[in-house]
Chain A
């Protein structure tokens, strides 16, 4: 069971990996050949050196950003699920509040972040609020759609067996909603990181932050371009990692039954 799957993952991972190696090699070669100075455009080796040399401070920054993103993701999941439940309980609730969820989603977070950072004294809390605001929407909308997307045959099945409202919720609505919820969670995980970084930038320009965005800003001021790239690299890696964790999480939760987890075999 495990072997063919691992093989397919490997064959799937190999091509992008090779492409990555080629790009890095070309980049390194170009930088050396044209003797581009590191403060203009650093070679991968310079970035790697900075990653090691500035490791401790970068890691501290990374942890600070990651903490904000993870707390925001947790809050967005909690709030988003609760709001979705309220929405499906009552059409009036949904109609009254959904527009505000949309407004929150479409207002650029960069525009709102300064306001929040001024209003909320604690920088950490302000960052978390910003990141939560942009991560919560995909959870709300996906979970709402999921909780509503009931198969009429399943509905009949539960009706014929005199299922109570609570039983229908636990044994039918929630399981039917899970694939939608996880799709929302994947998007939200990326957005929570973006939200955290954006908010850090805004706060960082006011000199009140410690995350990776702040590192990037500082490195820019001091023309330590390799360090800037190293921080960027860490942000990207963190994003990929968070996304992968969500994919694994949804595989574990939906694995045995949901068709979207078995596309290769279909």
Chain B
């Protein structure tokens, strides 16, 4: 009975299944990306980055190094000043516009205050022309995933900051995206919720053929989640180092206590320190 409700944006299957180990075609290729804002702030300069399908890539870097800017450009919400963004795999339409397989958790919750939690999560499906009755179960499922079942009928103003953020995560997941862009999604959450959502995200990542581009300030979170960490330096933002976390999925709480995890944390911290040293001090 359940089976006829859930899959509405179910991935049509990976475009080309390649054997493990072969140099995968990148899902996304950034070449020479720079971004100068109208007020002459140079947010990014000369960023080259290949993102492979199925990767869990974390952007780690000091505040203001252009992580959000980069994520928005990947999503097509902002244009780079120079450089190109290519999606060699065609889960994107002819114009190179990202299609609905993209999910974005913004740094702010950006909920619509006049819609209930349920209707906020429903929004992406509504915009895609889905009837509410047809997707009710799916919406309740993602709400349960972020632990907000009881608040389905609440309005955003009745929620705490962390709860709003969880609604925003549910809204990004509800369409079953193939590529998930997450801008510090867990920063406003308490440690326990954060750990739970970390594990949920890893489960989702393992279950679905998902590519995640994740932004965080937490070295621990980045090591726990990612298969690859790109450390950025600020002013102008650029790639400072690029490290692969060579630990198999699925990962669980045991991984957090392993030596390999601690080892990577130390290396990531070191890389971050180096990146901070490259960035000049705040002018203020």
Interface of A with B (CB < 8 Å)? 151, 153-154, 156-163, 167, 171-172, 175, 178, 254, 256-259, 262
Q: Is the CB of A153 within 8 A of B157?
A: no
Distance A208 CA – B98 CA, assembled complex (angstroms): 66
Contact residues of A: prevailing secondary structure? helix
List, in ascending order, chain B residues with CB within 8 A of A171's CB: 112, 123, 126-127
- Name the CB-closest residue of A to B106: A153
**Beyond A171-B123, A256-B155, A259-B157, is A161–B114 a contact (Cβ under 8 Å)?**
no
Closest 4 CB pairs of A and B: A153-B110, A257-B114, A161-B127, A257-B113
Q: Mark B211-243, 1 if CB is under 8 A from A, else 0.
A: 000000000000000000000000000000000
B53 to chain A, nearest CB (A): 20
- A-contacting residues, B111-143, CB 8 Å: 112-115, 123-124, 126-128
Contact A160 B110 (CB under 8 A): no
Are A160 and B114 touching (Cβ within 8 A)?
no
Minimal Cβ-Cβ distance residue in B for A253: B114
A–B pairs, 6, beta carbons within 8 Å: A151-B110, A153-B110, A157-B104, A161-B100, A162-B99, A259-B157
- Cβ contacts under 8 Å, A172 to chain B: 112
Interface size class of B (residues with CB under 8 A): 20 to 34
Seen from chain B, the residues whose Cβ lies within 8 Å of a Cβ on chain A are: 72, 75-77, 97-100, 102, 104, 106, 108, 110, 112-115, 123-124, 126-128, 155-157
Cα–Cα distance between A24 and B103 once the two chains are bound (Å):
65
B77 and A160 contacting across the interface, CB-CB below 8 Å: yes
The listed residue (A153, A254, A259) touching B108 by CB distance below 8 A is: A153
Taking CB atoms, residues of chain B closer than 8 Å to A156 are 72, 75, 77, 104, 106, 110
Option from B97, B108, B124, B155 in Cβ contact (under 8 Å) with A161: B124
Indicate which residue in A151, A167, A254 contacts B127 across the interface (CB closer than 8 Å).
Answer: A167
In whole Å, how far is A264's beta carbon from the nearest beta carbon of chain B? Answer: 14
Q: Which residue of A lies closest to B93 (CB)?
A: A162
CB-CB under 8 A for A160 and B113, given A167-B127, A171-B123, A256-B155: no
Residues of B within 8 A of A151 (CB): 110
Flag if B127 contacts A175 (CB, 8 Å): no
Minimal beta-carbon separation of A155 from chain B (angstroms)? 9
Contact yes or no, A160 B108, CB < 8 A: no
Instruction: Report yes or no: A258 in contact with B113, Cβ–Cβ below 8 A.
Output: yes
Given that A153-B108, A257-B155 are contacting pairs, would A158 and B127 also be in contact in the complex, using a CB cutoff of 8 Å? yes
Nearest opposing residue in chain A for B168, CB measure? A157
Question: Which residues does chain B contribute within 8 Å of A158, judged by CB atoms?
Answer: 127
Which residue from chain B places its CB closest to the CB of A159 in the assembled complex? B77
| Bound: A262/B113 CA distance, A | 13
Nearest chain-B residue to A155 (Cβ)? B77
How far, in angstroms, from A167 to B130 measured CA to CA in the complex? 13
Q: Please report the C-alpha to C-alpha distance between residue A259 and residue B110 in the assembled complex, in whole angstroms.
A: 16
Q: Interface centre among B77, B127, B128, B157, by most A CB within 10 Å?
A: B127
- In the bound complex, residues from chain B placing their C-beta under 8 Å from that of A159 are 76-77
Pair B157/A262 contact, Cβ less than 8 Å: yes
B78 to chain A minimum Cβ distance, whole angstroms, is 9
Q: Which residues of A have CB within 8 Å of B110?
A: 151, 153-154, 156-157
In the complex, chain A residues whose CB is within 8 Å of the CB of B123: 157, 161, 171
Q: Once the chains bind, are A258 and B114 in contact (CB under 8 Å)?
A: yes
For B112, the chain A residues whose CB sits under 8 A away are: 154, 171-172, 175
Bound complex: CA of A175 vs CA of B120, how far in Å? 14
CA distance A27 to B156 in the complex (A): 51
Which interface residue of B110, B115, B126, B156 has the most chain A CB atoms within 10 A?
A: B110
| Contact present for B114 and A175 (CB under 8 Å) | yes
12 more A-B residue pairs beyond the given contacts A157-B123, A159-B77, A160-B102, with a C-beta to C-beta distance below 8 A: A156-B106, A157-B106, A158-B127, A159-B76, A161-B123, A161-B124, A161-B127, A162-B127, A172-B112, A257-B113, A257-B114, A257-B155
